[in-house]
Chain A
Amino acid sequence: GNSVTQMEGPVTLSEEAFLTINCTYTATGYPSLFWYVQYPGEGLQLLLKATKADDKGSNKGFEATYRKETTSFHLEKGSVQVSDSAVYFCALTRGGAQKLVFGQGTRLTINP
């Protein structure tokens, strides 16, 4: 079946550090890939997405590239801020308005 595996956390970084959170997936066909973020006390929000191979999703300084050859969708940011502290979830759908399959989440803490 379809599944998503994320880098285990928690991850703690200093402000302005480079961030990578690894995400790999197993899926049949050509899934769409997503990163969702959950800030403390808030609901899940879509951060970025990519719907086909080699697409790059980007938002708020975060980027992720859909790599079909390595079945990966790693999240990166060049310079993190304290306000980026949150839990990040990688997810996939089989396309269109389908159910999301989530990874286990990675808790990120940024220290000033």
Chain B
Amino acid sequence: DTGVSQDPRHKITKRGQNVTFRCDPISEHNRLYWYRQTLGQGPEFLTYFQNEAQLEKSRLLSDRFSAERPKGSFSTLEIQRTEQGDSAMYLCASSSLTGSYEQYFGPGTRLTVT
């Protein structure tokens, strides 16, 4: 098992551009989570999926943000019309619905909006 992977690891974009991040969870994990972490803070929940269904979205997830998990495997997080306040580390995690429910985190995608 290769763990949770995220792509790209770093993204620099200009304000107003759209960006898309990808997360590949651990293969047998049903649940996939997105979090955002700003400098000096703990991660904040954005949204999560169980298989392909998006079950919960945070109020942090404005209408410029959209997430998908089309076949219940990988997920994408898109930010439209990026703003400087979107600069953060975007973390993906996955977990099983059985056993310990432990969330395994990917290395994150660091977004810088200039």
Contacts and interface: CB of A to CB of B under 8 A. Distances in A.
A97 B41 contact: no
Best-buried of A45, A89, A98 by chain B (most CB within 10 Å):
A98
Interface of B: 4, 30-31, 33, 35, 40-45, 48, 56, 91, 93, 95-97, 101-108
A27 B104 CA distance: 23
Interface of A: 4, 36, 42-46, 49, 89, 91, 93, 96-105
11 contacts: A36-B105, A43-B105, A44-B43, A46-B104, A89-B43, A97-B101, A98-B101, A99-B56, A100-B33, A100-B45, A105-B41
A101 B58 CA distance: 12
Given A96-B101, A99-B48, A91 B42 contact: yes
A104 B43 CA distance: 8
B103 A100 contact: yes
Closest CB pairs A-B (n = 3): A102-B42, A44-B105, A99-B45
A5 to B, nearest CB: 11
